[in-house]
Amino acid sequence: MQIDVQTVNIEQKNQTFSHLKKRFGDKKIPSRYQEASYDLQAEENLHYRPTWAPEQELYDPNLSKIRMNDWYDLKDPRQFYYSTYTLNRAKQQETMESNFKTVESLNLIEGMPDPVLAVAQDLLIPLRHANYAANMNNTLVCGYGYGTVFTQPCVYHAMDNLGIAQYLSRLGLMIGDVESLEAAKQDWMDSDAWQPLRRSLEDLMCVRDPVEVFIKQNFVLDGLLYPLVYQRIVDQNLVEQGGSGISILTQFMTNWYLESKRWVDSVIKTMASESAENKAVLEEWIDSAANHFTSVLLPVAGLAVAGNQADELVSEAHDELLQRAKKAGLFK
Amino acid sequence: MSKVFIILQANEETRSIVEAIEQDNPDAEVVHEPAMVKVQAEGHLVVRRETIEEEIGREFDMQELNINLITLSGNVDEDEDALTLTWNS
Amino acid sequence: MDIKKTPKKLNVKEKYRLMTRDLAWEPSYRDEKEIYPYVDYEGIKVHDWSKWEDPFRLTMDAYWKYQAEKERKYYAIIDAHAQNNGHLNVTDARYLTAIKLFLQSISPGEYASHRGFARVGREFAGVGPQVACQMQSIDEIRHAQTQVHAMSNYNKFYNGFKDFANQRDRIWYTSVARSFFDDAMSAGPFEFLIAIGFSFEYVLTNLLFVPFMSGAAYNGDMATCTFGFSAQSDEARHMTLGLECIKFMLEQDPDNIPIVQKWIDKWFWRGCRLLTLVAAMMDYMLPKRVMSWREAWNIYGVENGNALFRDLARYGIKPPMHWDDVEKSIDHTSHQIMLGLYQWKFGTAFHSWTPTASDIEWLKEKYPTTFEKYYLPRWEYAIAQKENGGEYNNFGLPKLCQVCQLPTLFTEPDDPTQLCHRETDYEGEKYHFCSDGCQHVFEQEPEKYVQAWLPMTAMMQEPLKGDLAAWMEWVSLEPTAAGEYANSEDKANFEKWRKQVSTD
């Protein structure tokens, strides 16, 4: 029997789950983000210690030097849970798909000046390996970080990095088929310009403090790399030289960086405002990593622009990063 | 011989897919249960893109199967033209 | 390199290889052991990670596209379910017990899998399994979230849903599922994959999601059916990952075979014990049944399991050690669990009940050799107590198995009239088990299982010290959420609202 139940007005017993009521009261119906994120991770009475590291707890906030009274303070301003995340990316993917089609159907790659293509090949395609490292690093943060609102966006960020690596691979296939990817890998492994970055990423993959990895990868390295490579070199230099087609194919990266930096900044701001100790740790990490990665990226920028200009672009990116850090309450 | 199977959600989209599977696997057995439909066969079952495309009258990407797939059993081999399920014994 | 070369058309396999496999590189500045510190200690030998076969070759563009389509469909259905008072379409409110148990026990397990797969997606030293595990990690958080969202609407109208987060960590019976997932997560990366990817997903998940979700649909709960089937479409990928993983380990080195066999033995048993709760859900908690636990077991356990182990025999893998004990228990466990839940119903955040006359007829028909002989008399005793104004409760605390954490309420495999109980002395302490299977698991790794958090022991210690009222507060158990279904507010409200609907 199918009954018509739409017309009945019945009174609700509970507005929300108890753990959400405790956090947010029950005046408002909680959002799906809140339901999907808060207090999902087990907190107490964990059964066994990890056999891989018996000194740790199964979920262990002490894996990081950063201390939070409540890790659920680190909310994602984008309020991404699986569904909103996936729907957003699917929409962006549709745009990217039509961008790829446009570039293909208008033969934009073939019509591009050789120097532009050379920069795309030398600078962009090897970056797919850097995105793989970022994928691994964010996967670590998701796996070992504490509290769902902090760890959840990291698995999305990890998959985004894989997606970016795959967009770069498609670009490579368009400009030089499989040989493009092979040459880029060769560069990544051997050419002088890429070795400092590869070495730094191998070093970062050995770090096990999840917040340290988060800061150095998502704030420092990406905070230098995306403004430098995508905002300046691709969207300005290459576009001026007739490389709009490249810029269309890296649109995802540009938008993704602008979107995700709001999240990264908000996490840092919340951590820094928690305590003077946190602030000191964050400043130490950011200060050393920012200087280090700035020098690492200099030869990378040199693949696209002449020495002086490379210096200039890299130091602009560095200043921009420190501005972000200041806005988040650091170095004051 | 062991049975392999594929189970799909029962809806309009999967009607034609199931019909295509039946065409390609004349010995397969189709079982309807609430909200789902199971297609099973001894040892081997193949789902072919071309046959599905003929049934639905448009292009079909094998990965679209994911949307309505509930479960399957057997060793999986998938490429752009077909998904094959087999048991080796 | 020849720029502007016309690209060849790549096939799916080649494209996927370039888009994933080819992204990683062999580190030269740091030792692999520093990057992957946990990949060796279980003793699994891997000589060539590139031999890993990717079963489903989803690149992120396709992943986003198809998953978004699933999400749109799913949320359209649960939005409609919420707007149209879809909860009043379920056959009767007894059904809600099944989904309360699901939210309290299984959804936290989905979440644990999400975190566990993120870890192994980082710890494996090959990009093939890394990416496959990461994709499973993101799928698993999807499952946890869609389940919470589906239950959120039920929570607005019924008891027993709202405290699932606290109860996940504290109430006694959720410890069964959580100890299972904690056990897997605290194991090494390869064992985790055998535990969740192979034993749970491949061998057992069909039993959880397929007949039960079909049953949810049959009982008018489209919200649950939809998250179940929508999740299961991801499981098809996960099961295949589990199977590929086991083949990969077995093919890499013959020394891996005994290790893998040991894990299969352990995790098959652990999984089957966990699924006894699902057996009770299938046989007792679906007011309208699609199939019995026995029938489901025959299809998804026996037929499918045999096919799988015949296939794996070429590697020298044998069917799981305690398979026969499981087979012998199938006609008993749902009744034993439901009787157990019924007698401890004052301590559960869901309701239970005695079977109705038509339930009894169905159970007799489905379990001709066991139900009438062993379990009907006990139900009749409970029914008679109710009719005489009493209540069938057991206020003694159940003794929990040190491994599976279920009460030791199962019978000897060969004698359904004898309760099964095993003990092992370890470092001067006595440990109790429900079965040979659990005792065996303990004895392989006693140093692990002595750590188990036992909810009944915790109840007797500081600060609760055996005070039932204090315990109820600590586990957020309100009296309205517990006890006999017939006297429950859920039943009264459901019937009142339904009546309101039919007279309108």
Task: Write out the DSSP string of C233-249.
Answer: HHHHHHHHHHHHHHHHH
Q: Which two tokens stand for residue A184?
A: 């880029």
Cβ contact C172:C400 at 8 Å: yes
Partner-chain contact C4 A175, CB within 8 Å: yes
Q: Which two tokens stand for residue A326?
A: 């200041």
Phi–psi pair at B9, nearest 5 degrees? -65, 145
- pLDDT tens digits for range A208-264: 999 999 999 999 999 999 999 999 999 999 999 999 999 999 999 999 999 999 999
Q: Bridge partners of C433?
A: C422
The answer to whether residue A117 scores a pLDDT higher than 80 is yes
Mean of pLDDT over chain A = 96
Cβ contact A47:A37 at 8 Å: no
Cβ contact C424:C446 at 8 Å: yes
Cβ contact A152:A76 at 8 Å: yes
Question: How far apart are alpha carbons C494 and C477 in whole angstroms?
Answer: 21
**CA torsion, ordered A51, A55, A56, A58, to nearest 10 deg:** 40
Which pLDDT value is given to residue A26?
Answer: 86
Q: Which two tokens stand for residue C125?
A: 């030293």
Partner-chain contact A42 C498, CB within 8 Å: no
- pLDDT tens digits for range C226-272: 878 888 888 888 888 888 999 999 999 999 999 999 999 999 999 99
The alpha-carbon gap from B23 to the nearest alpha carbon of chain C, in Å, equals 23
**Between chain B and chain C, how many beta carbons pairs sit less than 8 Å apart?**
97
Question: How far apart are alpha carbons C114 and A82 in whole angstroms?
Answer: 12
Instruction: Enumerate residue ranges in chain C where pLDDT < 70.
Output: 1-8, 503-504
How far is C-alpha B18 from the geometric centre of its chain's CA atoms? 6
Partner-chain contact A47 C182, CB within 8 Å: yes
Grade residue A27 by pLDDT with cuts at 50, 70 and 90.
confident
Phi–psi pair at C58, nearest 5 degrees? -95, 120
Report the residue from C41, C64, C135 with minimal CB separation from A86: C64
Q: In this structure, what CATH number is given to the domain that contains residue B80?
A: 3.90.56.10
The answer to whether residue B72 scores a pLDDT higher than 70 is yes
Cβ contact B85:B75 at 8 Å: yes
Q: Which amino acid is at C323?
A: W
User: Which residues, in sequence order, are CB contacts of C238 under 8 Å at separation 6+?
Assistant: C136, C139, C197, C201, C205
Q: Which two tokens stand for residue C422?
A: 């095993």
Top-level CATH class of A81-327?
A: mainly alpha
Could you count the other beta carbons within 10 Å of the beta carbon of residue A81? 28
Give the residue among A115, A248, A106 at the shortest CA–CA distance from A171: A248
- pLDDT tens digits for range A211-223: 999 999 999 999 9
Q: Where are the domains positioned within chain C?
A: 45-353+392-501
Model ipTM value? 0.97
Q: What contacts 24+ positions apart, CB below 8 Å, involve A322-328? A: A322/A290, A324/A219, A324/A223, A324/A261, A324/A265, A325/A219, A325/A268, A325/A283, A325/A286, A325/A290, A327/A265, A327/A269, A328/A265, A328/A268, A328/A269, A328/A272
Q: Look up tokens 């891989």; give the residue.
A: A52
User: Which residues, in sequence order, are CB contacts of C368 under 8 Å at separation 6+?
Assistant: none
Inform me whether the C-beta atom of residue A49 falls under 8 Å from chain C C-beta atoms. Answer: yes
Coil, helix or strand at residue B41: strand
Measured between alpha carbons, how far is residue C459 from residues B43, C173, C453, C454 in Å? Answer: 52, 13, 11, 9
Mean pLDDT to the nearest integer, B37-60: 95
Q: Which two tokens stand for residue C233?
A: 């479409």
Coil, helix or strand at residue B30: strand
Which stretch of DSSP H or E encloses residue B75? strand B75-78
DSSP readout, A290-312?
HHHHHHHHHHHHTTTS-HHHHHH
Interfacial C residues in 203-262 facing B (CB < 8 Å): 205-206, 209-210, 213-215, 217-218, 225, 229, 232-233, 235-237, 239-240, 243
Cβ contact C143:C71 at 8 Å: no
Grade residue A2 by pLDDT with cuts at 50, 70 and 90.
very low
Cβ contact C192:C120 at 8 Å: yes
User: Which chain B residues have any C-beta within 8 angstroms of a chain C C-beta?
Assistant: 2-4, 7, 9, 33-36, 61, 63-64, 66-76, 78-80, 87-89
User: From C6, which residue of chain A is nearest by alpha-carbon distance?
Assistant: A177
CB-based touch B/C (3+ pairs, under 8 A)? yes
Which pLDDT value is given to residue B2?
Answer: 87
The answer to whether residue A4 scores a pLDDT higher than 70 is no
Instruction: Quote the pTM value.
Output: 0.96
Partner-chain contact B36 C243, CB within 8 Å: no
The alpha-carbon gap from C407 to the nearest alpha carbon of chain A, in Å, equals 17
Q: Which CATH superfamily is domain C45-353+392-501 in?
A: Ribonucleotide Reductase, subunit A (1.10.620.20)
The answer to whether residue A176 scores a pLDDT higher than 70 is yes
Domain count, chain B: 1
Cβ contact C287:C91 at 8 Å: yes
- Domain span holding position B52: 3-86
Interfacial C residues in 5-44 facing A (CB < 8 Å): 5-8, 10, 18-20, 22-25, 27-30, 34-35, 38, 41
Read off the DSSP letter of residue C352.
B
Cβ contact C267:C194 at 8 Å: yes
